[in-house]
Every structure is written in C-alpha cells, then in structure tokens.
Structure 1
Amino acid sequence: MFRDHGDIHLLVVEDSPTQAEYIRRILLREGYNVTVASDGRAALMAMGDEKFHLIISDIIMPGMGGYDLCRRIREISQIPVVLVTQLFDPEDIVRGLASGADGFIIKPFDPASLLNTVSDMLDEEGAAKVIEDGDLIIAAPNDQTYTITASRKTILRILLSTYATAVNKNMELQEARDELYGVNEQLQEFVEELQQTNDDLSHEVQERQRMERELLDAHRKLQLMTSITHHDIKNQLTVIEGYLELAASNEGAITTQEAITKTREAGRRIERIIELTRDFQEIGTCEPEWLDFTSLVDRGRRMVDLKGVSIITETPGLEVYAEPLLEKVIANIIENSIRHGERVTTIRITMETYSDFLLIHIRDDGVGIPESNKRRIFEQGFGRNTGIGLFLTSKILETCGFAIRECGGADGGACFEIRVPKGLYNLR
C-alpha cells in the first residue's frame, strides 16, 4: 500500500491538450504526481525516464494509439493500464482486453468516477477480491464472497451482452443529448431574438426620453428667454422713455446731454441682454472638446474692457473638456469683478489639483462680495445690471459638468471657484 498519494506517479497519455489538462488537474488536486504525454511514442519515452504506478491512455491518438501502446507496454512491463473510451462499440472492450488493458474509463466522466477507477487499480487489496482457483473464480465485492463456476466463454458472453446493452443505452442517451442540444440552440436563438427586440425597444425608449428631455429643455429655455427679454428689456425701455420725458419737459430736471447719455447706457444694456440670451440659447448645442485653458482666458479677456486691470494666468498645461462657450464664462467673471470690485487692479487665475477633482480660482483684489449675497449672485435677475451674466455662467458650467461658487472674504476680494471633476481635465 502507498503511504500517501504523493508517492504515486501517474502517466496520462492524451493528444487533446484540453482533455489532458482536465485529467491532470483532477489527479493533482487529489495529491497524485502526474506526467502527461501527447501520444504513444512520447509515453514509451517517458517510461524509459521515469517509473510509473499507473498509466491512463486515450485510445484514438495520432501515430501510436492506445491499443498499440498497451501491447508495447505488456512486452516490457506489468504496469496497470486504463484505457479511456467513448463506449461506442462492444469491440472496444474486446480489443482492449486483447491488448492487455486492466480497466476502462468511459467518456464523458466526472472527477469522482476517474478517481474511483484510479483508486481501485492502485489498491493492492483490490487485487485479492477476484481469485482464480482452478476452474473456479472467487469474487469478494463488498466483503461478500461469491464462487462462480461458469466457463470463461460464458463469462465473456455475459460481459459482451451487458456491454452491448450499455452501448445501446449510451447511444440512446447520446441521441437524447443531441436532441436537447438542438432544442437548446433553438431556445438560444429565440433568447437572442428576444434580446435584440428588447435592445431595440430600449433604444427607442432612450431615444424618446432624450427627445422629451431636449423638448423640455428647449421649452424651459424659451420660457426663460421670454422672461428675460420681456422683463429686462421692458425695464430698460421704461428708463429710456423716462429720460426722454425729462429731457422734453421744461422743468430743467435733466439736460439733453444727460438724457442722451442715460439713453445710450440703457441701449447698451438692451444690447447686452440680447447677446446673453443668444449665448443662453446656444448652451448644449455644441459638442464638448479638449480646450487649452490659458487660450480660453486670452479669448475671454479680449471680450471685456479691462480698464487697466492686469490678468495673471497661472494654469500651465491645463486642458479642460468643455463647450467653447466656456470662454464666455471667463469673460463674464472678469467683467463682473471689474464692474463690482470697485478698486480692482489685478485678477489672478490659479489652480489646485486633488485626487478626484481640480479647482480653478479666479480671484480679484477688489472690495469683495458680502456673505449674504454669495449664493444669490448666481440667481437670475440678481444684480445691479441685467442680472443674468453670472446666471448664464452657472448654466454653461452646469452643462459642462462643472460647478461654481464664490468663496472670497468680504474684505479680501472676490474669488470664484470652478470645480472640474476627474476625467474632464488634463495636465500636459
């Protein structure tokens, strides 16, 4: 008896790498020492180099097959040989016995049946379960003894008839399996058709939802632009009409030149409102692209009357994935700082990187923004002019996936902080 499986060296002869690896892994997990040969000739060469306790061989292999290998082994050794067969024909057993095989493993097999066969072939006590005593055969399976007096011819005939029955059953099972495979293929085709139909319906639903979102967005923009143009432009027209009335009166409350100046200012505000509503209408209509942030700042500053204010940009190598309208954001923030900062001389643009996001700071040295107004400055209508510049800024940034807030101190100048998520910025 072997003390443990590690002392047992098995040789697996199989030309299919997949099948050989399958058998090898089963035996390795049980603790056996396993060598694999790809055909009969390779197996004989391995036997010249190593000592094996059991050989497991496929029958059908290129070159030297299992039957020939078994005969060659019997010429030089009594190592037990187990042949692997698909049980297609009773002749397989006869040819196997004639070639000197000691046992058979029937394909397809599971790990348990393979291990049981190997264990039985290696069990020294198992060899004593069948004993020849003259013309008698004494069999002792399950510790119960049976004496068989039938002739060898009768035993072989029973073996073959039993094997033939097993072959027929196996063929019936094979046919049933083939039918099941056919049904499974039809079901698979049906499932694929259903999946395709479901994908088509899902695509249609998504497309409809997208169109509904776009329609709602367009409706919201239309309502908002109507509100802006109606409310703000009407206010400016009222201002123009009021100054013209004062200039036309004889009361001398305002000079004609003053009325013209105020009227021109109101006209410029109307023009600004029209430009901003046009920009708002373009939000979401352009495809985002990778933009050099320093170039964005340069284009944005050219849209504004800087009035001598210095713009310092410290964002080397920064690229952002956004709509080209982002330059309007920069312009609006710079213009807001200059208009409301009162004493602004410098606007500095810097950046800070974190693990999941990047912060862009646009900081001025003006009077700052009171704490009570920090949240409201991004609301539509809040402010001393049109009240839609910073509102438009927040909407453009929202469309790009960014966020903005004001985080400056009340006495330390305004600071607009733009938060850019990871994946929407790049540092070259």
Structure 2
Amino acid sequence: MAEKKVWIVEDEAIIAMDLKRRLQGMGYTVLGISGYAEDAIEKIREYTPDLVMMDIILKGEMDGITAAEIIRRELHIPVVYLTAYDDESTVHRVEETEPFGYIIKPFEEQNLRMVIEIALHKEVEKELEFFAQEVNQYAQELQNTTNLLSFSNRKRTVISEITLHDILNKIMTIQGCLDLAADKKVDSELAGYLNEMQQAVTDIQKLIRFTREYEKLGAEERTWVPVSDIITTISDEQLPIRNHCSPLSIFADPMLEMVFANLMDNTLRHAEGATEVNLNCETNDEGLLIIWEDDGTGIPEDQKEKIFEKGSGKGDGFGLFLAREILSLSGITTNETGMPGKGARFEIMVPNGAWRIESGNE
C-alpha cells in the first residue's frame, strides 16, 4: 500500500517539527507544514494530501476550525484537530465541522497513531458509501433505460407485426391478380411487365421473411445450445455432414441453429460438385475454432467478404449476413478462409467461456 501523505498546520515550530518526526516514524509522508490557515488552504489545494493535522488556534485572522471547514467542503480531505483546549464551546465548534478526530496536546504517540488510523479508515468508509450511492443511482438509471427500451421494443414489434400483416395481405391480392393475368392472352410487352411484377412480389416476400427473422435477434437470453443436435437436424442425405467435433454446446443466442442451417443452405446452393461437409474443432489461446468445410468449387478471393453482405448471392442474399449477425451477438466471429477450387471453409471463432464439452461424452 502506498504511504499516506499528511499536511501539518501548526504555528508552533517546535510542536510542528516534533509531530513531523513522529509521523515519519510511523511511516507517513509529511508533505509540508503551514503556520497560517490561509497558507495551509492554498498549499493543501496544490498538494492534495490524504490527511490534514490541524491546530485549532492559529496566528492570523482565520482559525483552524474555519480552515478545516473550507478544506472539507471544497477538497473533501479528512482533518484531525490538534488542540490544547477541551472546553465545551470549542468541542461544539469542532463537531460542527464533522471532524475525523482530534488530539489533546500534549499528545502521546500511541494515541496519535490510533486517531490517524481511525480517521483514514473513516475516510475510506465515506468514499465507499459515496461510491455505493453512485452505483445505486447508475443502477436505477440503467433500470429506467432498460424499461424504456423494453417498452420501445414492444411498440416496435406490435407496429411491425401490424404493418407486415397488412403488407402480406396486399401482396396476396397482387399475387392473385398476377395469377389471373397469367391465364389471359397478352402480348409480349405486357407479359414482360407481368413477369417483372411477379419478381418484385417475390423479392418483397423475401424481404418480409428476413425482417421477421432479424427482429428475433437478441429477443431471448443467451443459452447453452447443443451443436451436435443442430448438425443432426440439418444433415442432408445427398450432402452428409461429417461431425468430427466432440459433443459440445455454445453459449449463444437461441437462433444459433439458423447459423448452421444457413451454412448448409449456402453449401447446397453454391458448392458445385460437393459430396460432403466436414465439421472440425480446434482449440487455441482465444477459444474454440469450429471449421465448416466442403469439397466443392470454393469461393473466389474477391468474394470472401462480399458473401456476408446483405443482399449478396443467388438466393435471397440474407443467409450469411444473418448468420454473422447472430454470431456477433455472442462475441463470436466467422470468416471464409478456403482455397478457391478446393472447397469453401468457414471458420467460427468461439471465445473461451462461451463453449463447453458436454459432460459424460468423449
């Protein structure tokens, strides 16, 4: 622990030097000595000691009690009084300044040590009490903010559901009209317009599906999600997944299943010539690296980041974008690191503390 710093305010030079010697012998650092209250206040503002030893009766216009009151009010530094007077009026004035202790002259070293230790201890208690009040205040503000966000999210969800419901109804109307128009004989120009309308309706439906899925992000608390169960669910007979990882769970958003489902969908759509997917796990200093690897054509170098952008790809363009968003909620990252022409390789980095091997399994 660092040595505590003390400032002495005493107008009797011999007493001040004796006190300094005693304090240094106890292991305290004496920053300086002042004989006048005005000088003491200026120096204490400059040096900010941990404790002030203040004589009550000082030369000059200001006494020690007034000086101590200013020091406590402005600088919040504890003050211990030194006095040769213990009359009732003096004690009453001292108590009004909330002292951290006072010593009657001539003082004994044991008493001096005890009073100083108590004063410093009381100061720590006051600081802890202050910090506790601050923490409670911040906690209350945080709770109020959380309540407002929760209410805002509820409103947004309700409005969104109502809006999407109305949009879907209108889309069904348009789709019905397009189906009826498809049975009619129309010229090639009009047929082209109808085809564009059909594509626009399809795109709107994809956007709505994505919006509904994206709204679910972070709606539920993170939980331990068994990866092996997900792999079993999404495995395909024509493109099997070889799971080489020990049975593990990841502490993540419950939508984690969609991450692997989107990886599988991406492989089925784009991994031309692929015959299987291999899932491997490696540990390192950062955590657990989950590797999703196929034996298809791979991804060109200039497309490795673009595939994670919203709207990219041949499908609806949201799969890998949504997958990365889901993982990021849990501090998990993903990148594509495969060699073009030798298959795609998606690396998912799960930080330590967010993965575990299921007990009772090898």
Q: CA deviation digits over 1:269-301, x for unaligned, max 9?
A: 7665544322211111222222322112223x0
Match runs of 1:15-414 below 5 Å: 187=123, 190-207=126-143, 245=181, 247-251=183-187, 273-299=207-233, 301=234, 306=236, 308-414=238-344
CA distance in 2, matches of 1:308, 1:237: 38
Query: Contact conserved, 2:171 with 2:201, CA < 8 A, in 1?
Result: no
Using the alignment, how far apart are the partners of 1:424 and 1:206 within structure 2?
A: 25
CA–CA distance in structure 2, aligned partners of residues 266 and 391 of structure 1: 21
Shift of 1:219: 10
Residue 417 of structure 1 aligns to which amino acid in structure 2? Answer: E
Q: For structure 1, which segment, 310-319 or 237-246, has the greater mean C-alpha deviation from structure 2 after superposition?
A: 237-246
Q: Which whole-Å deviations, capped at 9, do the CAs of 1:69-90 have from their partners, x for residues lacking one?
A: xxxxxxxxxxxxxxxxxxxxxx
Letter of the 1:293 counterpart? V
The one-letter code matched in structure 2 to 1:249 is K
SS of the residue corresponding to residue 397 of structure 1 reads: helix
C-alpha contact (below 8 Å) 1:326/1:397 kept by paired residues? yes
SS at 2:297 equivalent: coil
Structure 2 partner of 1:9:
none
C-alpha distance after superposition, 1:8-27 (max 9, x if no partner)? xxxxxxxxxxxxxxxxxxxx
Identity of aligned residues (%): 26
Deviates most, 327-336 or 170-179: 170-179
- TM-score, scaled relative to structure 2: 0.54
For residues 292 and 382 of structure 1, what CA distance do their matches in structure 2 show?
Answer: 29
Cα distance change on mapping 1:419 and 1:169 into 2, 3 Å: closer
The 1:209–1:347 alpha-carbon spacing in structure 2 relative to 1, beyond 3 Å, is: same
1:173 Cα shift? 7.2
1:110 and 1:177 map into 2 onto residues whose CA distance is 8
Letter in 1 for 2:323: T
Aligned residues: CA RMSD: 5.0
Deviation at 1:326, TM superposition (A): 0.6
Deviation at 1:343, TM superposition (A): 2.9
CA-CA distance at 1:238 after TM superposition: 8.4
The structural deviation recorded for 1:217 is: 8.9
Q: From the superposition, tell whether residues 178 and 346 of structure 1 become closer, same or farther in structure 2 (CA, over 3 Å).
A: closer
Following TM superposition, by how much is the alpha carbon of 1:355 offset from its aligned partner in structure 2, in angstroms?
Answer: 2.0
Deviations 1:176-215 (A, max 9, x none): 7777677667655543432222222332454466678879
Q: Do 1:290 and 1:321's aligned partners in 2 also have CA atoms closer than 8 Å?
A: yes
Distance 1:238 1:408 in 2: 43
Q: CA deviation at 1:411?
A: 1.3
Distance 1:373 1:351, change over 3 A: same
Shift of 1:252: 7.6
C-alpha contact (below 8 Å) 2:225/2:256 kept by paired residues: no
> 1:219 and 1:369, CA in 2 relative to 1: closer, same or farther beyond 3 A?
farther
Cα gap change, 1:316 to 1:185, in 2 (>3 Å): closer
Look up the equivalent residue of 1:352 and give its one-letter code: E
**CA distance in 1 between partners of 2:113 and 2:340 (Å):** 81
Shift, 1:409, TM fit: 2.2
Provide structure 2 residue ranges, at least 5 long, that are not aligned to the other structure.
1-21, 27-103
Distance 2:341 2:159 in 1: 38
Structure 1 position 324, deviation (Å): 1.9
Instruction: Tell me if the contact between 1:236 and 1:267 (Cα under 8 Å) persists in the aligned partners.
Output: no
CA distance in 1, matches of 2:158, 2:244: 38
CA contact (8 A) 1:246 1:253 kept: no
Relative to 1, partners in 2 of residues 1:195 and 1:322: Cα closer, same or farther, differing over 3 Å?
same
Structure 2 CA distance for aligned equivalents of residues 240 and 351 of structure 1: 49
Q: In structure 1, what is the equivalent of residue 19 of structure 2?
A: none
Does the aligned pair in 2 maintain the 1:312–1:346 contact within 8 Å? Answer: yes
Distance in 1 (alpha carbons) for counterparts of 2:311 and 2:223: 31
Q: Judge conservation of contact 1:239–1:266 (CA < 8 Å) in 2.
A: no
With structure 1 as the length reference, what TM-score do the two structures score?
0.47
Q: Which runs of 5+ in 1 are unaligned?
A: 1-108, 114-167
Q: Quick one: distance in 1 between partners of 2:301 and 2:225?
A: 33
Q: Deviations over 1:343-373 (max 9, x none)?
A: 3321221122212222211112222222222
Amino acid paired to 2:256: L
Q: Is 2:298–2:338's contact at 8 Å kept on the other side of the alignment?
A: yes
Q: 1 CA distance for matches of 2:155 and 2:321?
A: 18
SS in 2 for 1:400: coil
Residues 132-184 of structure 1: CA deviation (Å, up to 9, x unaligned): xxxxxxxxxxxxxxxxxxxxxxxxxxxxxxxxxxxx97677777777767766
Question: Would the aligned equivalents of 1:346 and 1:364 in 2 still touch at CA under 8 Å?
Answer: yes
